[in-house]
Amino acid sequence: MSLFASVQPYAPVNLMQTPQRAPEAPAACPILLFPSKVPARFPSRTANYFEGSLDANEYLVRHKAASLYFTVEGDSMSGAGILSGDQVLVDRSIGPKHGHIVVAIIHNEFNLKRLCRLHDAIELRPENPAYDAIRVGEDDDLLIWGVVVGVVRKIAV
């Protein structure tokens, strides 16, 4: 059996951090959705109508019963656009694949990293050159807790 095949995506865990479960029935909070893309360049004229509404939970959450939000702490994933203080939406029903950003448990600690399958090993790679990858050895207990499917960030105003 390969090392990658031994990754356990759905085993229960009992750790100190309690993730926030995504709402079973998200509260309706529709916000108008404008029909045009927003260019990040010189402004253009826009139509004076809206396409509909957008519920953030409906947009982000694919599997309600298997989805949880985690608060990000640290800057090891800043290169992937995930910053300290962000909320990442993690779906436990998605099988982890090479290249996915995952919440993994290794050495009894949660880690937010990119999952990389190598010829003979698995690495959990940060998206910040200031940090080293975590190489998972044959004797290490690795649990892929879930796959990140979304990021929510507040903008200071």
Active-site choice (6, 64, 97, 113): 113
On the CB side of 32, how many CA atoms lie within 13 Å of its CA? Answer: 7
Q: Considering 36, 76, 78, 97, which one is annotated as catalytic?
A: 76
Q: Based on the residue annotation, tell me whether 76 is a catalytic residue of this protein.
A: yes
Residues that are catalytic? 76, 113
